Each structure stands twice: as C-alpha cells, then as structure tokens.
Structure 1
C-alpha cells in the first residue's frame, strides 16, 4: 500500500502521540458501530411490530450518522497527524456537536414515540 504524501511532510511525532491519536480514532469508530447497531435494532423493531414510518426514519438517520461519523473520524485522525507533524495546534471538529445534536434528536423522538404508544 502506498503511503500518503502528507506522511512524508514535517517531522515524525512522538510515537505515544501517534498511538493516542489512533486510539481516539478507534473510539470514534466504536461509537459509529454502536450507533449503527442502534439503527439496526430500531429497524428490526419496526418489522417485528409492524411497519412504523417514524421508527424506520430514525433507523435511517442513525445509519447515516454512523457513516458520517466514520468519515469524520478518519478526517479528524488525519488532520491531527498532520498538525502534530508540523508542531501546530490540533484542529477543532464539527463531529462532537453533530453527534450530540443528532443523538439528542433521535433520543427525544424515541421518547415521544414511547409516550404516545403508552
């Protein structure tokens, strides 16, 4: 596999920082997988209990969020690696407010569905 050009720019950072960045990336991927599992679970409930459009929409939203989070995790990992190689501050990310807002919205929608159904 060919190494990307940015890996040859700047200086190699301390391996501990590189490994910490990789662990953070893997944590983001685990979070994306958990969100995807939640979407699959919702979709299964929608087929078991009869099709419910809102539940299917929520499952799709969770699937899209998981895919988006996976892409953002890679972009964040790469940006951190580049910043460390050039001794710059680590960049901020839109992923944290995004995942928080969408998770809050999905949780609120599920709570409303449960209250209405109860």
Structure 2
C-alpha cells in the first residue's frame, strides 16, 4: 500500500498502485464527464439566452433540465473516478456507472421539451 500524501487519501490509501494506463484511462473518463458538464451548462444557458422560436415556458424548463444535469455531472465525475480508482487499487471489478441512464433521460427530456415548444409556438 502506498500513501504519499496524494488527495484524496480515502482513495490512495487503499490497495496497491495499479498499472498507470488504467489510472490514466480513469482520469480521461473523469475529464470526459467534466466536458459533458460544460456542454450541458453551455446548452442550458444558450437555450435561454438566444431568442429561439420556442414556447417560453417549455424553453425555460428545457434550459433548467440542462443546467441541473450540468451541475450534477461533475459530481458524478468525481465520485465515479474515486469509485473506479479504489476498485483498480483493490483489484476488484469496476463499478457500474451511476448517472449514465438519468443523464441520457434528462437530455432526451430537454430535447422533447424543445421539440414540443417548437411545435406549439
């Protein structure tokens, strides 16, 4: 077990050092979640900031869905990274993603709201 003061201690204090390629792949997944969060936030802001021909209440609802998902995604990124890194260090199977399904459902909901908003206007 190695613990050289790295953060978070609850991850690095467990198990043994895994193959660096796996830790780097886990980090790339973390960064992909962060990029996804940025895209969701940008989409939510743009949807409300641009003067699109969408029914205003549905546009606001879709924007809020995207903004909430954009706030939740980095939280998922952090906890998902930590769970996967602990599993790698303890030589356990990788955990299943937690928010992939709800994220996809939320994006689909936002898209449906925009579509309906375009049709009723």
The structure 1 residue matched to 2:94, chosen from 76, 90, 97, is 90
> Counterpart in 1 of 2:36?
31
1:41 matched to 2:46: yes
Q: Which moved more, 1:34-43 or 1:5-14?
A: 5-14
Q: CA deviation at 1:95?
A: 1.1
1:13 matched to 2:21: no
List alignment gaps of at least 5 residues for structure 1.
none
Q: CA deviation at 1:94?
A: 2.2
Higher helix share goes to which structure? 1
With normalisation by structure 1, the TM-score equals 0.88
List alignment gaps of at least 5 residues for structure 2.
none
- Kindly tell me the number of residue pairs found equivalent between the two proteins: 115
With normalisation by structure 2, the TM-score equals 0.86
